[in-house]
Amino acid sequence: MYKQNRSWMYDKDAVLYGMQSNFLEGVGEFIEFALEHPAYMSGDKIRCPCSKCKNLKFKDPHEVGYDLYAVGFVPNYYNWTSHGEPLDPSVIPQTVGSSRYVPPEMSAWGDRAEMRWDQQMVYDAYGVPMSQFNPPQPPNDPPEASTSYQPDADENPTFYQPYVDEGLTERFQDVLKAADQPLYADCEGYSQLSAVTEFMNIKAEYSLPETCMNRVLQSVGGMLPRDHTLPDSYYHMKQLMSKLGLPCVEIDACPEGCMLFWKEDEALEFCKFCGGDRYKPVRQGKKKPRHRSALSKLYYLPIAPRLQRMYASTATAKHMTWHVEHETNEGMMAHPSDCEAWRHFDRCHPQFAMEPRNVRLGLCSDGFAPFGRFGKNYSCWPVMLTPYNLPPDMCMKS
């Protein structure tokens, strides 16, 4: 018996790259239901009810899963009439419960023990469970498909439009392909993605320059079989890894640090305070380029997607409630949650403290001495925003 309460169909937030457990289970049930009605299929393909295809295209079940995870269901498709369900007025949206969300058990994410670490990394980055991409196969020799049904544009009136990330599905498929593609034919130890990840870690750990990495990649590539998939430059490695990464916003800035060319000042070409140029000068006789280069840039790393990624990954989500679950030794402070200031904050904000998954952010620095004999008139120190939900070895290590 498939869920009659189908509020789960729109209980997802693709901005998080993560989904509620009932949405994950519901998509699997929907695909099972569609495969049980071969008269509404085209061969072994089913109609895709995502908000882009709108039941107008037939796709493989796993492709339908990709699309639903990326862009959600077409609005108001609670009655699965395009997939063999009779018209039933009782199948209406239900109010989503207000009970606290409990993260899904590991079994809901498929048998992760059978996945390589690089495949787990891809699924964690996009918040997609492995098991949902292995739906039941359609029955053998299904009857000839009926394609006469075409949904009416007015059949599903729009009252809710889920967030749509046009490039999410394509990015996910590209990076998943890199995780599944061996480094060369019959290579069992490394995929293209795992090899690239290893080289990126080596570069970061030993602070290798880009020219050195290019030379290493070319040398290693020359030792591998001709059909290898290892990138030949650091630039191409970054292109692949960027699809797993998080957004970074570039904002033009005044070279003297007076202002940002942002929001209402985005169209300005000179600083409002010092009158300095925003862009690099164009040489005389050269045509003015369409996209000019700024003299200075600020790289803004939005915090919300980074916090959301912590809950999208099963590897880090379990650590986000450590500050509540750990044992405290009286008289010893191993973490900010052990101190009186933390407890005072909880007493002042009881509603916030009731939910252990709420994120506790704090500004921290590497220590500085503005006064005293070691103090200087000017110094520059890094100031970092840290989530103190995490255990000490994850939030306070160097």
Q: Which residues touch 28 (CB under 8 Å, ≥6 apart)?
A: 131, 132, 135
* In the chain, beta strands by DSSP E: 12-13, 18-19, 46-47, 58-59, 249-252, 297-300, 361-365, 383-387
Q: How far is CA 304 from CA 246, 307, 318, 361, in A?
A: 10, 5, 18, 12
Is the per-residue pLDDT at 117 higher than 60? yes
Bridge partners for 69 per DSSP: none
Q: Which amino acid is at 11?
A: D
Q: 317 by DSSP, 3-state: which?
A: helix
φ, ψ at 228 (rounded to 5°): -70, 160
pLDDT tens string 178-228: 888 899 988 888 899 999 999 999 998 899 999 999 999 999 999 999 999
Three state DSSP letters for 236-292: HHHHHHHHHCCCCEEEEECCCCCCECCHHHCCCCECCCCCCECECCCCCCCCCCCCC
pLDDT value, residue 225: 93
330 vs 122, which has greater pLDDT? 330
Specify the pLDDT at position 188. 83
CA atoms within 13 A on the CB side of 49: 22
* 393 pLDDT tier (thresholds 50, 70, 90): confident
Query: Rounded CA gap, 274 and 255, in Å?
Result: 10
Both structure tokens of 297? 């840039």
Comparing CA positions, the residue from 171, 157, 159, 166 lying closest to residue 71 is 166
Contacts of 106 (CB under 8 A, 6+ apart): 112, 314
- Our CA dihedral for 120, 123, 124, 126, rounded to 10 degrees, sits at 160
Higher pLDDT, 3 or 231: 231
The structure tokens listed for 178 are 């890199």
- Cα gap 181→204, rounded to integer Å: 24
Of 170-179, 320-329, 347-356, the range with the lowest mean pLDDT is: 170-179
SS3 363: strand
Q: How far apart are CA 349 and CA 359, in angstroms?
A: 13
Is the separation of the CB atoms in 310 and 317 below 8 Å? yes
Higher pLDDT, 378 or 251: 251
CB 172 within 8 A of CB 122: yes
Q: What is the pTM of this model?
A: 0.51
Give the whole-angstrom CA distance, residue 178 versus residue 197.
11
Please give the single-letter amino acid code of residue 138.
P
Task: Using pLDDT thresholds of 50, 70 and 90, give the confidence band for residue 157.
Answer: very low
What DSSP character marks residue 75? Answer: T
Question: Can you give the pLDDT at residue 101?
Answer: 29
* 215-268 per-position pLDDT tens digit: 999 999 999 999 999 999 999 999 988 888 778 889 999 999 899 999 999 999
Summary mean pLDDT of the chain: 77
Among 304, 311, 313, CA closest to 361: 304
Give the Cα separation of 38 and 117 in Å (integer).
Answer: 37
The tens digit of pLDDT for each residue in 46-100 reads: 999 998 888 888 999 988 988 888 788 988 888 888 898 887 655 544 433 333 3
Q: Is beta strand 46-47 parallel, antiparallel or unpaired with respect to 18-19? A: unpaired
Domain ranges, ordered by start, for the chain: 7-165, 170-244, 249-300, 319-398
CA distance 43 to 38: 8
Residue 254 has what pLDDT? 94
Whether the predicted pLDDT of 140 surpasses 50: no
Q: What is residue 231's predicted lDDT score, i.e. its pLDDT? A: 94
**pLDDT the model gives residue 105:** 35
pLDDT at 1: 47
Supply the pLDDT for residue 150: 43
